[in-house]
Amino acid sequence: MAFARAMSSFNEIGADISRQTVLLPSRAEDIMVRQRHHYNRYLAKRLANPLKDAEQLVLFRNIPVSDSRTLSEALHGVRESFSKHDLARVYAALTPGRE
């Protein structure tokens, strides 16, 4: 969920209304989790109950706010990585003045 927190914080700043664009991954495939098996083996030898470690690789795209289809696909794609609260924060950044 660290990615979701970073993204929602970034989009509150990054949703610049004067530029009318937002940075988001445009598809679910743009978010990749790469397991670090070598590090997980090391942790397993050192700790009794280690947490799994992985890297998140994210491809961001500059999406125009006026492109509702691409923006909808982007929000649908990141839905698995975001909590409802974080998605609501991104939506609020994209639609200022609405409640």
**pLDDT tens digits, 15-70:** 555 668 888 888 888 888 888 888 888 888 988 888 777 788 888 888 888 888 98
Give the SS3 label for residue 82.
coil
User: Would 45 be classed as within a structural domain?
Assistant: no
Owning domain of residue 76: 2-31+58-94
Which residues are within 8 A (CB) of 55 and not within 5 positions of it... i.e. 6 or more apart?
33, 34, 36
Q: Looking at the 3D structure of the chain, how many domains does it have?
A: 1
Residue 11 lies in a domain: yes
User: Does 71 reside within a domain?
Assistant: yes
* pLDDT value of residue 99: 56
Contact 62, 27 (CB under 8 A): no
Question: Do residues 92 and 13 touch, judged by C-beta distance below 8 A?
Answer: no
72 assigned to some structural domain: yes
When comparing pLDDT for 4 and 89, which is higher? 89
Q: Would you say residue 62 lies in a domain? A: yes
In a domain, 44, yes or no: no
Candidates 25, 12, 32; CA nearest to 71 is 25
3 state DSSP class of 20: coil
Q: Is residue 26 included in any domain, yes or no?
A: yes
